[in-house]
Structure 1
């Protein structure tokens, strides 16, 4: 290779390096502009904060009566339960005072029954109304508030301190619209936006109906 050709190769490499550097600088400049724009928008429109105090409960729960199967009549859909049908929570009191929590469900009515197991601990001094439930060996933990139960333990209202989760349970698999609306009104009284609730199909004919998941 002659001196002239070596110089040409060197010049080409230098030009390519400069071009690459210019591209990097241009990309960084675009990113900075985007970050500034997003930051400015975030400062101009701060997210609305929930100024309400965390939800609490004053319910007094008889654990022995509360155990057993509760059908999930409605909930605020979230990743673990969204789209599930014929779902229920089954509770069993252990000798050590903790509670086995088995969530049973189907992905669809023609699918087999599956389950998800958790372990609940009652928070001391809460009249058995506040639990902490651990799933997946403790990787996922959920605060569980029993807000209210029927005198005969035929239905229960379950909440979460931040109101991001909520459930309506019943001992019977089906619930009439009038009873359901009464319980929704109770949830509204606990500060919930009840438009977030969706009924869980317990029968195939309920799928796709207004108000159902």
Structure 2
């Protein structure tokens, strides 16, 4: 067996130079800040580029994303009565409707409207729901066609979420054809006094809705 000679080694003393240490921290901090700034700049540039592609002036996207305007003024005395639904964007509360859909409005003494919606089901029966519509005032536009509709029970109608938007976006002079939608562009209806609207008139309404940013390609023709 070989024996190993042990040597004692004196511990070395580590000396910190405050100036060097501070300089190192400063360098790291500067690098971190510069890197963060460059990353933020790259992200901002990419987002701006993406937005430019999605909403460039060539495709008219800024106009389609502008806040929707309603018809003003609307004479509710002329608007009440029976309307036939011609087309709609798909929605959960009309999933069962397989035939004709109508909406009948009656003016009440307090200025609200009674709303009676009917639709024919696949088995030939008729489903109906009764609600209330109220005027949602628009500053500087008296009589604007902005309403709110509720089909909730009376005791729930004090809650804001019990009401849905009903905006009259287009209405002919004779009150025969109306385009109704919501400001988030999720809901859309084409209504007419006649049970069947001719294809050219219906297409003109849909083309106008498309110009407002509605997804017209998803439209369902009512009762057809």
Deviation of residue 193 (structure 1)?
Answer: 2.0
Q: TM-score scaled by structure 2?
A: 0.63
Q: Is the 8 A contact 1:70 1:88 kept in 2?
A: yes
On the 8 A contact 2:70/2:144 being kept in 1, the answer is: no
* Counterpart in the other structure of 1:65: 78
Task: Give the stretch that moved more between structures: 117-126 or 95-104.
Answer: 117-126
Q: How many residues align?
A: 154
SS in 2 for 1:192: coil
Q: CA deviation at 1:166?
A: 0.4
**Does the 8 Å contact 1:59/1:147 carry over to 2?**
no
Question: Which residue does 1:179 correspond to in 2?
Answer: 201
Q: CA RMSD in A?
A: 2.1
Pick aligned residue for 2:163 from 131, 141, 152 = 141
Larger radius of gyration: 2
- Kindly indicate whether the alpha-carbon contact (under 8 Å) linking 1:159 and 1:165 is maintained by their aligned counterparts in 2: yes
1:123 Cα offset (Å): 1.1
CA 1:157–1:175 in 2, change beyond 3 Å: closer, same or farther? same
Q: 2:127 aligns to what?
A: 114
Higher mean displacement: 162-171 or 192-201 = 192-201
Deviations 1:62-93 (A, max 9, x none): 10000001101000010101241211111000
**Higher alpha-carbon deviation: 50-59 or 116-125:** 50-59
1:195/1:152 CA distance change after superposition, 3 Å: same
**Aligned counterpart, 2:188:** 166
On the 8 A contact 1:59/1:148 being kept in 2, the answer is: no
Q: Output the TM-score relative to the length of structure 1.
A: 0.66
- Equivalent residue of 1:61, what SS? coil
SS at match of 2:206: helix
Secondary structure of 2:163's aligned partner: strand
User: 2:179 matched to which residue of 1?
Assistant: 157
In structure 2, runs of 5+ residues without a counterpart are 1-53, 55-60
For residues 21-42 of structure 1, the C-alpha deviation after alignment (integer angstroms, 9 at most, x for no partner) is: xxxxxxxxxxxxxxxxxxxxxx
- Indicate if the aligned counterparts of 2:74 and 2:145 stay in contact, CA closer than 8 A: yes
CA distance in 2, matches of 1:99, 1:69: 13
Q: 1:159 offset after TM fit, Å?
A: 1.2
> How far is 1:54 from its partner?
3.5
Partner of 1:123: 136
Runs of 4+ with >3 A deviation: none
Match of 1:196 in 2: 218
